[in-house]
Amino acid sequence: MTLNSQRLEAAIEALHEFAEPDNTPNRDHEPDFQLHLFDCIPSTNQILWELMNSGAKAGTVVIASQQTAGRGQWGRQWQSSQGGLYLSMAVEPQILASHQAQLTLCSAWGIATILQDYHIPIRLKWPNDLILTERKLGGILTETKVSNGQIIRAVIGVGINWANSIPETGINLQTYFAQNPDPVRVYSLEMLAALVVQGLRMGLRQLLTVGIEPVLKSYSQLLTCIGNRVRVAEQSGVIVGVNAAGELRVMLEPNHANKAQEICIQPGKISLGYGSDESFNIKS
């Protein structure tokens, strides 16, 4: 399944004009898109870094129909068979290196929000997975280049299952549409790619114009784990959201020895499931 460049460019332009009127803040300062389409490459993130090292700027987008060495969070391999959407976009955010997690949070929020507008009920698995009917639809991987404590360049990689083969814990959109045929608003891989690009742009604009705080509430409401019960060192608590550092916020309940308190858990310290009714044990 090969992307049609003309249909993709038309979809991006149409969506951009519809979603962003001329008075959209900072619209005139946003970079134009430069699209690079491939059938099969090792990794869209890898190819985009190579392009950036050769002079490509923010707004450059690499899309492939298949990856042979796709990668996910924590160095894991990302299954990238033919028929999926594998997309990476270059950005030059000029934000503090300590705010790297905010790029992922805003990207996930932007993509989930725009897909929900098209009747696809996306939820988020903290910190970077896209969930549909309690199964994994896709994920996000952010890589950065830092200079003097600032993120000067970043690549945001997105993988979404469209019509590709998937593991048992996954789902692709064609399966979802077959089970939920009315209405189908995303009718082609090109349209899905355009929506992802628009979602990334929307998330980044929110971060750079109004900051992370307005996004955090909406992001937290999309979490599959929000309100789930956890146990931390034999103390019960409830997941209440995510903070600006990208950490999971847990409100511990009072017991005979401790008052109620909020603790924050870094990504990678806990493995969450895809469902919304699970409980977890967390090592302190």
Structural domain containing residue 127: 5-221
Residue 171 to residue 160: CA distance in whole angstroms: 9
* Residue 181 sits in the same domain as residue 67: yes
Q: Is the pLDDT of residue 74 over 60?
A: no
Q: Is the pLDDT of residue 274 over 80?
A: no
* Residue 275 sits in the same domain as residue 144: no
Q: CA of 10: how far to CAs of 5, 13, 114, 261, in Å?
A: 9, 5, 18, 51
Q: Which of 226, 220, 208 is nearest to 275 (CA)?
A: 226
Q: Is the pLDDT of residue 176 over 70?
A: yes
How confident is the prediction for the chain on average, in pLDDT?
88
* Strands 85-91 vs 60-67: parallel, antiparallel or unpaired: antiparallel
* Residue 70 sits in the same domain as residue 160: yes
* Residue 54 sits in the same domain as residue 188: yes
Q: Is the pLDDT of residue 20 over 80?
A: no
Q: How many domains does the chain have?
A: 2
* Residue 82 sits in the same domain as residue 204: yes
Predicted confidence at residue 19, as pLDDT, reads 64
Predicted confidence at residue 102, as pLDDT, reads 97
Across 37-46, 97-106, 201-210, 274-283, least confident range: 274-283
* Residue 237 sits in the same domain as residue 204: no
* Residue 88 sits in the same domain as residue 189: yes
pLDDT band at 257 (very low <50, low <70, confident <90, very high): low
pLDDT band at 231 (very low <50, low <70, confident <90, very high): confident
Residue 152 to residue 184: CA distance in whole angstroms: 39
* Residue 76 sits in the same domain as residue 164: yes
Q: What is the mean pLDDT of residues 9-38?
A: 73
Domain end marker among 168, 186, 221? 221
* Residue 62 sits in the same domain as residue 203: yes
pTM: 0.89
pLDDT band at 280 (very low <50, low <70, confident <90, very high): low
Q: Is the pLDDT of residue 160 over 70?
A: yes
Q: What is the mean pLDDT of residues 147-168?
A: 96
Q: pLDDT, tens digit, for every residue of 82-141?
A: 999 999 999 999 999 999 999 999 999 999 999 999 999 999 999 999 999 999 999 999
Domain end marker among 182, 205, 221? 221
Predicted confidence at residue 281, as pLDDT, reads 60
Q: Do residues 197 and 33 lie in contact, with contact meaning Cβ atoms separated by under 8 Å?
A: yes
Who's near 69: CB < 8 A, 6+ residues apart? 42, 43, 46, 77
Domain end marker among 221, 239, 262? 221
* Residue 236 sits in the same domain as residue 159: no
Tell me the one-letter amino acid at 107: S
* Residue 56 sits in the same domain as residue 27: yes
Q: The domain that contains 34 carries what CATH number? A: 3.30.930.10
* Residue 169 sits in the same domain as residue 211: yes
pLDDT band at 200 (very low <50, low <70, confident <90, very high): very high
- pLDDT higher for 196 or 73? 196
